[in-house]
Each structure stands twice: as C-alpha cells, then as structure tokens.
A and B are shown apart, each in its own frame.
Chain A
C-alpha cells in the first residue's frame, strides 16, 4: 500500500502566498478577539451608564432645599397657651391658618410685593408641608407663641429644582416653569443666605405624597418588608420540604418526573402570569383583601418557589453519600438521617438560594400591579392585610409622575432598592464563601 499510495504535495510554508494568508488569518483573529472584548466593554458601559445616570439624579433625592424665614408666631392666629387649656390650645393650633403666618413672614422679607396674586405666588415658594412644620413646632413648644424665630422651612419643588440647578435661568421665560419674578425673589433670598440644601430625612421616614418634597419611601419599604415576610414564611418551608422530598425520599416514577419538569418550567413562567394567578385565585376565589402585602407575598411566594427548590436540591445533592451512610450506620432512621445530618449540612446552600430568591421577589413589580398593590397610599401599612405598596411599585408610580422633582425621588428610591438588593446578594455571597464545603 505504501508504495503506490498517492502523496500530498509538500507545502511551502515560506511562500509569499502562505505568508500573506497567515497574516490575513491573524488579522481575523485580532478582529474576532476585539469583537469579544468590545462586547464585554459594551456590557460594562451599559451598567456604568445605568448606575451612573440613576446615581447622578438619585443622590439629589436625598437632599432638599429649605428657605429660612423669620416666622412671627402670632398670638392672634395661634391663641395664647397661658390663657387656654392645653386641649383647647392644641385644637386651636391645629385649626389655625398657618398660611397667614407664612404670608406675614414673607411680607416682612418682601415689603414691596403688594398685589394679591403676587403674594399668592410668593407663598408658593414654600412647600405645602411648611404649614405642618410650623404647627408641629408650636405644638411641641407652646412658649414660641408671641416670639419671632428664624425657621428653616421646606421649599417648594420649583425652588428646590432651581437650587439644584435643574431649571436653567438663562432660558427664555416662556420655556421655563419658574418665572422671572419668582427668580428675582429666589435670588434675593439666596443672597441673604436663606436658601440651603440639607439632608432630607422625610424622604426616608414618610409615606407617599403628591408633593415631591413631602414624598417618602418608608411606606413602600414597610410594604416590601411585609410582603417579603409573607413570601419567606410560605416559600421557604414549602421550598425546602419539597427539595428534601424530591432529593431524598421521592420514588422514581412518572409523578416525580412530572414534578421535576414542572418546577423547571415554572421557573421560566413570566412573572406577570403569576400576577394573573394571584388575581384570579387569591382575590377572585378566596376574596383576600386587595392591595395587601398578604396577597402580594403569596403571589411572590409561588414565583420564588422554583428558585428555592432548585437551589436547595443542588445543595442537598452536594452532601456526600458517605455522611448518610455514616448516620445510617449509627442506626438513624431515614428521617433522622435527613433532618439531623443532611439538612444542617446543606443549610448554607439552601439559605443562599433563599436569599437570592428573596432578592428576586424584592425587585419584582409586575405581579404586584396585577393584585392592586399599585394604589396611591399615604399611610404606613401596619399589617399584612392593610393596603400597601412596595418599593419597586413606588418607583413605577413615581416614574409616571410628570413633575421633574419626582425624577430624582424615583432615582433615589432606586438607589435604596439597589442598596437592599446588593446587601442581600452580598449576604448570599458571604454565606456561600464562609460555609462553602469541599467534600
């Protein structure tokens, strides 16, 4: 065979054609590698743009502009605390028209503003929340009555946007929200050092509001916490028990096969479909209260169940059989083997999966829209059956608001949400690394 076999022509590796060809191939190689690199960089750029954009706006959401005014706490308006009973005085203060006090104060600052319309516009430079601010001050300290104090009042969102440079004073007057007159007043206050930008605790401690400067995320945060609590209470036990059953006890038959396939598919069902399920079953059939964290939590629990089951199963599977054999050798029943030995060893992995599932649930919006957790709710929810909203839904609601000032509130709320998510994922990573076992 070897004698009559055909021969392959020897290759001249140094021929010019071959050299050119190799150069071409290396060029392609470079291009391809560059393409891959570009893809990674693009993904990084997207992330940086996204976070940068939101952080850029969002950090302003945590600060708010105030105006310091000399407020005359006039007895004629507030009543005299020494002449009235405490209850009467407080009732009087609650009823008092604080606008008159603010108006009087502004008159002192701007004596040449006379017309009714101008005065009303002048009043609009402070937030509607300023009235409550003055009221609370007087209620806390009745001896203020009769004095004049320099008080730091919340500015309206227009002034706030001016201070933050979001309104461009150089634009023609017709194109901007703040007119020249107000601009002048603002400048005057600013020159007197009465305009300041401060950390805004209200944003973290209060519920929703129509006024951006009064709106806060505490209500939504509590709503989210209650919802997650319900989710955890349902999904964690059921998920872990299911995982234990499937991994340790389930006979290999059609039914368990079906359950397996089913769990994998359930993990990929769009979240909004779970919302439809919650709407039809929890609201439609069970008549549970609408907009309540209870229903939101139940819905999200069904959604996170597959995540928890899959992670728990992987973690249980990773416990080596030798440990089961050892326990069985000591006379433990199958149940004891699992609950005394396998599950504790698998716990870090189970917890990691659960936290990741909870983080998913925390960021989820669509199913909550379906079950009505999307209302405008000012009160902080007190229980799982109260009407509530959740952080991502709050973000959705604010994102829809036309006011420019809500953009930074939305971004700030996103920063808060992302902080929670990062904390949860960080915890999961920490758990995984701390307890990671190499069998």
Chain B
C-alpha cells in the first residue's frame, strides 16, 4: 500500500499535469453536453481537441477557465484542478483564474480601443504594472511574443479593429499573453483566417508551447497534427480517445476515431 502510493508519487513527480479534469460533466439545462471527461494538460505540451461539430469541445474548453459561469443554464460537475487546486472551489477567485488560464476565441474580438490599449487592458485591470514604463514593457513584450511587434510598433495608437483578421487574432493572443497566463485555451483560433495568417498563428503556437500549457480546439486534422503533441478526440460529449498525436493519427485504437480521421463522418 505504502509502496504503491510512493510509486504514484514519483510518477506524478515526473509528469505533474498543469491542469487536470476528472470526470467532468456539463449540462445545458437538460442537455448533457459533456459526459464524464478526464483529461490532463501539461506545461510543455499542446493538446489538440478534435471532433465533429456539437460534440462539446468548446463547452469543455470553457469549463477550464470557468467561462461557462456566464451561461445561466450551464451546470458543471466533476473536478478540475490547476496546479492541484480545484478551480471550482469557493476559495478560488474566477477573476484570478481567468488571468491564469487565458483564452483565445474563434473569431478575433479586439476591443474597440487602440492596439496598445487592447494589450494593456489585462495588465491594467490586474494591476500588473506599477509605472507607465512597466506597462510599455509588458505591451511590447507581449506583442513581440505574439509576433506582431514589427507590424504594429509604429501604429500602437490606431484602433485594434483596423488590423487584418490574422493580425487581429495575433493581437488577441498578445492580449492573453500580456497577463502572463499559465495556460492558454484556444477555440478554433484559425477558423476565420486565411492560410497565410493561419501559418503565422501556428508558428506562434509552436513558439509559445514551451512556456504555457496550451489546449487548442480545431477542425483541421492537419493543424492538429502540425501543432500538437497530444490529441483528444471527442464524440457526442464523450472523450473517445486521448493520447500522443502521432499515435492517434497513425494508429488510432478506437474505430470511431479512425472513421473521423479518415473523413468517414463529421
């Protein structure tokens, strides 16, 4: 008994997940959208969530930073931890949680403010910068990390909405990075972008993967194969298969996964 526990300890020591969802169920009213999902996200990994439309990917993702709290009919069961701490515990503060677990949406949604103010928004509300130079520093760092700095450094005061779609999406990523999150959730970040912009965002995800735990929802198999190390296949609210991306794409264990990957449905 003792030995088993210590064994487990050493195991978790080596692969301690950044975020861990255990047996998560989500309901919209009576609609059971996510069914008993257990999934872990790791610090230095990109996890791709794939599956046909309506299978609950977004819903699951939105549980991880409690964005589902904003939907009145939504009820979440199960346990989700960030660094071992239950994020649904009353002790946990949503505002902090969402700062630590950033999110990028399907459609770029820059605020109707200047590029600078878009990026500075998060640090300002969380009080991350004491001085204007600190703030400038954070903004430029975030924009650099998002690979946007060179394109916008001369027009930081122009409105964020005036950028191209791909630039807007990278601005949104910069905005998320600026609050220094530990996890980044991306819900189909490239579905509104053209191939060139998509390539840029994918390159960016590659850049970011070492420092953040990243979960990305995508409908593109190629994208999942390109950017992720782990892949989770959802189907009708179930997590059908979860494992190394190469494995899932080359030798899926489940028939449903194989059918989906080969384009038999979905």
Contact = CB atoms under 8 A, between A and B. Distances in A.
Does B associate with A?
yes
Interface of A: 1-2, 5-11, 13, 17-18, 21-22, 25-26
Contacts of A1: 144, 147, 207
Nearest to A8: B180
A17 B144 CA distance: 28
A17 B128 CA distance: 11
27 contacts: A1-B144, A2-B207, A2-B210, A5-B141, A5-B144, A5-B145, A6-B137, A6-B141, A6-B144, A8-B141, A8-B177, A8-B178, A8-B180, A9-B180, A10-B180, A11-B128, A13-B96, A13-B99, A13-B100, A18-B96, A18-B127, A21-B126, A21-B127, A22-B95, A22-B96, A25-B95, A25-B125
B93 interface: yes
Name the prevailing secondary structure of the B interface residues. helix
Contacts of B96: 13, 18, 22
Contacts of B180: 8-11
A1 B141 CA distance: 12
Contacts of B137: 6
Interface in B114-154: 125-128, 137-138, 140-142, 144-145, 147
A9 B138 CA distance: 9
Given A11-B126, A11-B128, A22 B210 contact: no
Contacts, number: 41
Contacts of A9: 180
Contacts of B207: 1-2
Contacts of A17: 127
Nearest to B210: A2
A248 to B, nearest CB: 36
Name the prevailing secondary structure of the A interface residues. loop
A11 to B, nearest CB: 5
Nearest to A1: B207
Interface residues of B, number: 23
Q: Which of A11, A18, A21 has the most CB of B within 10 A?
A: A11
Given A6-B137, A8-B178, A21-B127, 19 more contacts: A1-B147, A1-B207, A2-B210, A5-B141, A5-B144, A5-B145, A8-B177, A8-B180, A9-B180, A10-B180, A11-B126, A11-B128, A11-B180, A13-B96, A13-B99, A13-B100, A18-B96, A25-B95, A26-B95
Contacts of A13: 96, 99-100
Q: Which of A1, A5, A8, A10 has the most CB of B within 10 A?
A: A8
B240 to A, nearest CB: 34
Contacts of B95: 22, 25-26
Contacts of B178: 8
A25 B147 CA distance: 32
7 closest pairs, A vs B, by CB?
Answer: A6-B141, A8-B180, A21-B127, A11-B180, A13-B96, A2-B207, A8-B141
A372 to B, nearest CB: 53
Contacts of A8: 128, 138, 141-142, 177-178, 180
A13 B100 CA distance: 9
Contact of B141 (A2, A7, A10, A25): A7
Contacts of B128: 8, 11
Contacts of A11: 99, 126, 128, 179-180
B144 A22 contact: no
A374 B127 CA distance: 65
Interface in B77-93: 93
Interface string B174-189: 0001111000000000
Contacts of B145: 5
A26 B180 CA distance: 21
B120 to A, nearest CB: 12
A52 B122 CA distance: 48
Nearest to A13: B96
Contacts of B127: 17-18, 21
Contact of A22 (B93, B100, B141): B93
A199 B179 CA distance: 73
Contacts of B210: 2
A125 to B, nearest CB: 65
A4 to B, nearest CB: 10
A12 B93 CA distance: 14
A18 B180 CA distance: 14
B100 to A, nearest CB: 7
Nearest to A6: B141
Nearest to B203: A1
A2 to B, nearest CB: 5
A21 B100 CA distance: 16
Interface string B89-116: 0000101100110000000000000000
Contacts of B179: 11
Nearest to B181: A11
A8 B175 CA distance: 13
Contacts of A22: 93, 95-96
Contacts of A2: 207, 210
A183 to B, nearest CB: 63
A13 B82 CA distance: 13
Contacts of A21: 126-127
A18 B127 CA distance: 8
Nearest to A29: B95
Interface in B150-208: 177-180, 207
A379 B140 CA distance: 82
A1 B137 CA distance: 17
Contacts of A6: 137, 140-141, 144
Nearest to B134: A9
A17 B96 CA distance: 13
Contacts of B177: 8
B209 to A, nearest CB: 10
Contacts of B93: 22
B110 to A, nearest CB: 20
